[in-house]
Structure 1
Amino acid sequence: MTDDSRRVSMLLGLLFGLAGMGSSSAAIALPRMADDLGISVGMGAWTISLYVLMLAVTTALYGRISDLVGVRTPLLAGIGLMTAGAVGAALAPTFEVLLAARLFQGAGAAAIPTLGVAMLSAKYDGAVRGLALGRLAGMAAAISCLGPLAGGVVEALLGWRAVMALPILGVLVLPLIWRAMPTEGSGARLDVVGAVLVAATSAGMVLVIQSPSTGLTVTVTGVLLLLLGTPAVAAQVRRRPHGFLPLAVIRNGTVVRSALAASAVPAAWFALLIAAPAVLIGDGWEPWQVGLLLVPSAGVGLLTPRYAGPLMGRIGATRALAVAGVLGSLSLVVAAAGAWLTSGVVLGLTVVIVTVAFGLGQPALSAAVGDAVEPEVRGVALGVGTLFFLVGGSVGAAVVGGLGELLGMPASLLLLAAMPLLGLLALRPVLREVRPSASG
C-alpha cells in the first residue's frame, strides 16, 4: 500500500468512524437521555433507528450525485449537514426536536461511507484498493467502538447532550483530505423522483419493524409506504432506466445479492450497540464502564484490515461476505446468551466478534460491487450497496429497540440472528459463479 493510499484511507476511515460514533456514542447515553426526557428506552431507540435510517436511505443519493458532479461538493454538504444536526440534537428542548435533528444528522453523515468508498474505488486498483478499503473499514470500526467509551466519559462529565455533539469533530478532518477529493462528474441530471421513492420505501420497512414500541399509527404509515412505494419504485425504474436506480445496477445479480447478504453485518453491529449498554446499564453499570468494556473491540477493528485484505485475495470478496455473515450471526447468538446471563464479559466478546465481521464485510461488499459494474455507474452502485448495508443496520436497531421491550432482549437478538443466515441463502448463486481468485 502506497503512503498516499494509506493516508487517504485512514482519514476517510476516521470520518466514517465519527459518523458511526453518531450511533455508538449516542447508544451509551440512551438510558439517561430517555429518563431525562420522560420516555421509555424503546421509544428513545428511535434516535438511533432514525439516524441509521437516514444514514441508509440517503447513501444512494450521495452516490448518484458523486457520479454527476464529483465527490467534493456532496461530501462538503454532507459534513455540514451532519454538523448542524449534531448541534441541533445537543440543544434540542424536546424529544420531537431531538428526532428531527437526528434525521438531519443522519442525512448528512450518509455522505461519508458512500463517497469514501467511491473515492478509494476510483483512485486505486487491485490489491492496493482492497487494502485501502480494508483500512477504511478497520479505522471506521475502531473509532465507532471507541464511541461508547467517549460517550460514557462525556456523559459523566457533561451530560447526554454533549454526547450528541461529538460527530462535529468530523469538520476537523475535512481540510486534510480536501485535495484528494475528485471534482469531476458526468454532468447529468439527478432523478429526484426516484431518490424520494427509494427513501420512502426504505423508511416504510423500518417503521413497520419499529412499530411494536410505538403503536398503530407508525405501523399503518410503514405499511402504506411499503405498499405504495415498492410498485412506484419499480415503475420509475422502467420509466427512467438510467435514473436514480439504473436498470443495469439493479439487474446485476452480484450487486443485489452481495448487498442483501452484507446487510446482516450492520444489523448485528447496531443491534449490539443498543443491546449491550441497555442490558448492562439496566444492571447498574455506569455508561463509562460499558464504554471501557468495549475498548478491546476498537483494537480488533484496527487489526482486522491486516488480515481482511489478504483473506479477500485468497477466497474472493463474495466468500469473504459469507464469512462475515456467519460471524454476524454467531455474535448475535452469543449476545443473546450474554443478555440472558447479564454478563459483561460475554457481551464484550460479542462486540469483538461483530467488529471482525464489519471489518471484513464492508470492504468485501465494496470490492464485490465495484468490480461488478461499469465505472460510470460505480458511484450509484456503491450507493445502492451501502443503502442495503445500512438499512440492515437500521433494521437491527429497530428489532432490538422495538421488539426488545416486547419479547425481551435475548429473544429479539436470537430473532435477528436468522438475518445473516438468510443473507447467505441470497449469496449462494453468486458463490457458485466466482472462483476464489476473483477478489477485486
Structure 2
Amino acid sequence: MKIPLLLGVLLGMTGLGSTAGSTVLPVMAADLGVTVGVAAWSITVYALLMAVGSAVYGRLLDVVGIRTPFVVAMVLYASGAALAVVSPNFQVLIVARILHSAGAAALPILSPALLSSLYDAKDRNRMLGQFLGAATVLGALGPVVGGLVGGTLGWRAVMALPLVGVTAFPFLWRALVARGSGAHLDLPGAVVVSTTAAGAVLLLQSPATGMIVAAVGAVLLVLGVPCVVVHSRRRPQGFLPRAVITNRVIVRSAVGAAPILAAWFALLIAVPIVLVGRGWPPSRVGLALIPAVAIGLTMPRISGHLLVSVGPGKSLAWAVAGSTIALVLGSVGSLPQLSDTLAAALLVAAVSCVIVAMSLGQPALTAVVASIAGDDIRGVALGTANLLFALGGGLGAAIVGGLTEVLGAPFALGLIALLSIMGLVSVVRVRRLQPEPESLEAATVPPCPAADEGPRRTSSPSTT
C-alpha cells in the first residue's frame, strides 16, 4: 500500500475513534457511574492535547527529526487506546485518553512533514491529497460506526477502533528517515501555554465537575495568561513566536476560525446526549447520521474546488458562517418541546452543516496563513495557527460538557453560536485587511527543513 494511504488510515482512524466515542458517551457514562458532563472529559482532553501536542511535535521535528517523535507517538497512541478498552473506572479511562491523545497529536504534523520529505514539488500535492482524502473519509464515518459498533458490541469496542490504524505503522518504518535541524525546543513555553489552556478548559467545564475544579482552572488561567505574555517577550523565537502572534491577520484568522472546531466537538457531544435522552439507542443515533456522513464523503473534492474558485479567505468566512448555522440548528433541535421527528431532523441538519464547515474551514485557514506568512516563518505560523484553531475544539467540548447538565444543551450550543458569530466578524475584518492570494501554491505544507538533505522520490513509494 502507498505511504500516503497508510498515513491517511492512521490519521483517519484517530478521527474516527474520536467522533465514534462521542456517539456512545451517554452509554459509557452510565456504565462507569459518572454523569455525561463528567464523561465529556474523555473528548475534552483529546481536543486539548491535539491542540498543544501538535505544536510540541512540530518543534520536536526540527530538533531530532521525524523517527523518534513518530515512534514515541505510536507507543502512546497504542498503549492509550488499549488501556481505554480495559479501563475499570473513569479515572483510568481519562489516563488512557490522555496517553492516546498525546500520541495522536503527532499525526497532523508529522504525516505531512514525512510526505514533504519523500516527494518533490511535482508529486507532493497529489500525495497530500491522497493522504487527506483517506483521513477525511474515515473520520467522517465516525458517528455511524460509533453508533453501530457501540450499539452492538458496547462502548469498549468503540475505544478499540484506533488500534486498527496502528497496523499501518510497521509498513511506515523504513520511510522515517528525515533528520532534525538542531533547533531548540522551548519546553517552558510549551508548559506555560498548555497550563493556561488547561485552566480555561477546567473553568468552562467546572459546572459539571464542582467548585474545586473551577478554583483550579481560575488559578491556572489567572497565573498563566501573564506568564504567556512575559515568556513570549523574553523568548521572541520560542513556542509562540512574536513574529507570528503579533501578526493581526494570522491571529484573527485562527481565532476567528476556532469556533468551527468548537462547533464540531460541541455537536458531536450534544447530539448523542439529546437523542439518547429521548430514548434512542446508540445504533439508531448512528443510523440517523448517515445523511450527514454521506455529505462529508463528498466534501474533499468540493472544498478543493471552492478554495481555488472563490479563494481561501472567502472560503474561511463561509465555513465560519456554516458552523454558526449548525450551532443554531443544534440549539433549536435540542429543545425538549419539539417532537422526536423534528428534533432529529434539525440535529442531523446541524451535524451536516458542521461537517461541511470543518471540511472547508481547516484547509482554508491553512491556505490563508500560508499565503500571508513569509518563507522564514511559514512553518511556525502554520503550527501556531493550528494551535489556536484546535484550542477551539477543547473549549467547545468543555462548554457543552460543563453547561449541558446545568443549563441544558440549547443554552450551551447557543452560547457557542454567539462565539461563532464573533469569529465570523473577525474573519470578515481580516478579509478587509488582507486581499485574496493570487494562487494557492503557498498553501501546501512546507517541506520539512531537514528533508532537503536527502534525495526526494518522484514516484509513489510503496511499502512492498
Fold shared per TM-score above 0.5: yes
- Alpha-carbon offset, residue 389 of structure 1: 1.8
Instruction: Choose 152-161 or 232-241, whichever is displaced more.
Output: 152-161
Counterpart amino acid of residue 163 in structure 2:
I
Partner of 1:409: 409
Change (3 A) 1:46 1:133: same
Matched, 1:288 2:289: no
- Alpha-carbon offset, residue 230 of structure 1: 1.2
| Contiguous gaps of at least 5 residues in structure 2 | 444-464
Count of matched residue positions in the alignment of Structure 1 and Structure 2: 435
Once residues 375 and 61 of structure 2 are traced to their aligned partners in structure 1, the CA distance between those partners, rounded to angstroms, is 12
Q: Please identify the structure whose Cα radius of gyration is greater.
A: 2
Once residues 185 and 169 of structure 1 are traced to their aligned partners in structure 2, the CA distance between those partners, rounded to angstroms, is 29
Partner of 1:333: 328
Partner of 2:450: none
Q: Secondary structure at the match of 2:27?
A: helix
- Alpha-carbon offset, residue 21 of structure 1: 2.4
Q: Structure 2 matches for 1:339-418, cutoff 5 A? A: 339-340=334-335, 341=338, 342=340, 343-375=343-375, 377-418=377-418
Q: Structure 2 matches for 1:96-115, cutoff 5 A? A: 96-115=91-110
Change (3 A) 1:182 1:309: farther
Once residues 197 and 115 of structure 2 are traced to their aligned partners in structure 1, the CA distance between those partners, rounded to angstroms, is 27
Query: Alignment partner for residue 260 of structure 1, among 244, 255, 264?
Result: 255
- Alpha-carbon offset, residue 381 of structure 1: 2.6
Counterpart amino acid of residue 46 in structure 1:
W
Change (3 A) 1:131 1:357: farther
Change (3 A) 1:38 1:239: same
Deviations 1:394-440 (A, max 9, x none): 11111111111111111211111122221122223431121363544
Change (3 A) 1:304 1:41: same
- Alpha-carbon offset, residue 325 of structure 1: 0.2
Instruction: Choose 363-372 or 44-53, whichever is displaced more.
Output: 363-372
Instruction: Choose 180-189 or 392-401, whichever is displaced more.
Output: 180-189
Change (3 A) 1:406 1:104: same
Query: Alignment partner for residue 10 of structure 2, among 9, 15, 34?
Result: 15
Q: Answer yes or no: is the 8 Å Cα contact 1:118–1:382 preserved in 2.
A: no
Q: Structure 2 matches for 1:173-322, cutoff 5 A? A: 173-178=168-173, 183-322=178-317
Q: Answer yes or no: is the 8 Å Cα contact 2:312–2:436 preserved in 1.
A: no
Once residues 69 and 224 of structure 1 are traced to their aligned partners in structure 2, the CA distance between those partners, rounded to angstroms, is 35
Once residues 148 and 70 of structure 1 are traced to their aligned partners in structure 2, the CA distance between those partners, rounded to angstroms, is 35
Counterpart amino acid of residue 438 in structure 2:
S
Once residues 238 and 93 of structure 1 are traced to their aligned partners in structure 2, the CA distance between those partners, rounded to angstroms, is 45
| Contiguous gaps of at least 5 residues in structure 1 | none
Partner of 1:435: 436
Once residues 269 and 92 of structure 2 are traced to their aligned partners in structure 1, the CA distance between those partners, rounded to angstroms, is 21
Counterpart amino acid of residue 92 in structure 1:
S
Once residues 375 and 72 of structure 1 are traced to their aligned partners in structure 2, the CA distance between those partners, rounded to angstroms, is 25
Q: Answer yes or no: is the 8 Å Cα contact 2:136–2:300 preserved in 1.
A: no
Q: Answer yes or no: is the 8 Å Cα contact 1:266–1:393 preserved in 2.
A: yes
TM-score by length of 2: 0.86
Deviations 1:149-171 (A, max 9, x none): 22233323332222112112221
Once residues 176 and 253 of structure 1 are traced to their aligned partners in structure 2, the CA distance between those partners, rounded to angstroms, is 42
Change (3 A) 1:121 1:407: farther
Identity of aligned residues (%): 47
Query: Alignment partner for residue 149 of structure 1, among 144, 149, 158?
Result: 144
Counterpart amino acid of residue 408 in structure 2:
G
TM-score by length of 1: 0.91
Q: Answer yes or no: is the 8 Å Cα contact 2:11–2:135 preserved in 1.
A: yes
Deviations 1:135-162 (A, max 9, x none): 6555444322322222233323332222
Q: Structure 2 matches for 1:76-115, cutoff 5 A? A: 76-115=71-110
Counterpart amino acid of residue 71 in structure 1:
I
Counterpart amino acid of residue 232 in structure 2:
V
- Alpha-carbon offset, residue 242 of structure 1: 1.7
Q: Structure 2 matches for 1:29-108, cutoff 5 A? A: 29-108=24-103
Once residues 220 and 149 of structure 2 are traced to their aligned partners in structure 1, the CA distance between those partners, rounded to angstroms, is 38
Cα RMSD between the aligned structures?
2.5
Once residues 194 and 337 of structure 1 are traced to their aligned partners in structure 2, the CA distance between those partners, rounded to angstroms, is 41
Counterpart amino acid of residue 437 in structure 1:
E
